[in-house]
Amino acid sequence: MRQTRLSMWHSMSHTSCGTILLTRLGPVVNPKILFSGTVRCVRKQSSACDHARRTSLYDLHVTNKGKMVNFAGFLLPVQYGSDGIATSHRHTRSHCSLFDVSHMLQTQIHGADRVDFFESLCTADIKGLPDNGGCLSLFTNGSGGILDDLIVSKTSEGYLYVVSNASRRENDQSLMLKAQEKFQKLNKDVSVEFLEPEERGLVALQGPQAWQV
């Protein structure tokens, strides 16, 4: 099992680039601190963009001239300014880049029985994690089949912090809520809280030099 610090999660992503998740951004970010610049929604995506949700970092992308597209139901930048996608890709593969992944499902698990509860849903040995440590894991069904991949962190603040995929948002929420109901009927102390992407940001620092930042 791989362990990490809560504030900086490091692993090899599916693109073979190092990835670090920097968690728990506040709801208000001043884009002038990091970037300057207007946003364009790609014309082919304009109809979809009209119905997409915005993450808490949307204004940051707007200020940095992000070309916004609908990705998994959220407005996210496909590129910035005059930098092409290929240029950005090569930079990430050779250096590192910061990505808004606030659209991913962020969950907090509270209660005295939170560890037993979440270990019943995934493959992680959460009891064995140190405080503020985390690991990659999988949601599984009753037969051990894989439902989704996730990252779970055991915080020192008395809750588990879980990040799973946006495309499986409704499925993962349903899985956890049904399990919560079963545990509570057994008088177990557990509660599930889903964080709203419009209010809670999440960024990922990806690339071989991410660990140096």
Mean pLDDT over each residue of the chain, to the nearest integer: 81
Residue range 105-195 forms a domain whose CATH class is alpha beta
Look at residue 49 in the predicted model and tell me its pLDDT.
61
Residues 26-63 have pLDDT tens digits of: 333 333 333 333 344 444 444 556 678 898 889 989 99
**Percentage of the residues of the chain whose pLDDT score is greater than 90:** 52
List all residues 6 or more positions away from 186 whose beta carbon is below 8 Å from its beta carbon.
Answer: none
Q: Please give the pLDDT value at position 186.
A: 98
The answer to whether 20 and 202 have CB atoms below 8 angstroms apart is no
| pLDDT at residue 174 tops 60 | yes
What burial class does residue 84 get, using C-beta atoms within 10 Å of its C-beta: 0-12 exposed, 13-18 middle, 19+ buried? Answer: exposed
Residue/partner pairs of 8-16 with CB below 8 Å, 24 or more apart:
9/134, 9/151, 9/153, 10/210, 10/211, 11/136, 13/206, 15/92, 15/93, 15/206
pLDDT value at residue 136: 96
40 is written with which tokens?
A: 């364009």
Residue 16 has pLDDT above 70, yes or no: no
pLDDT at 78: 87
How many whole angstroms separate alpha carbon 75 and alpha carbon 49?
6
Read off the amino acid at residue 86: A
Higher per-residue confidence, 55 vs 118: 118
> What gap in Å lies between CA 60 and CA 1, rounded to an integer?
36
User: Could you tell me the residue ranges of all domains in the chain?
Assistant: 53-102+203-212, 105-195
The dihedral over CA atoms of 192, 58, 67, 94, expressed in degrees to the nearest 10, equals -70
- Give pLDDT, residue 156: 96
Helices (H) and strands (E) in the chain, counts: 5, 14
Class of domain 53-102+203-212: alpha beta
pTM of the model: 0.74
Over residues 185-213, the pLDDT tens digits come to 999 999 999 999 888 889 999 999 999 98
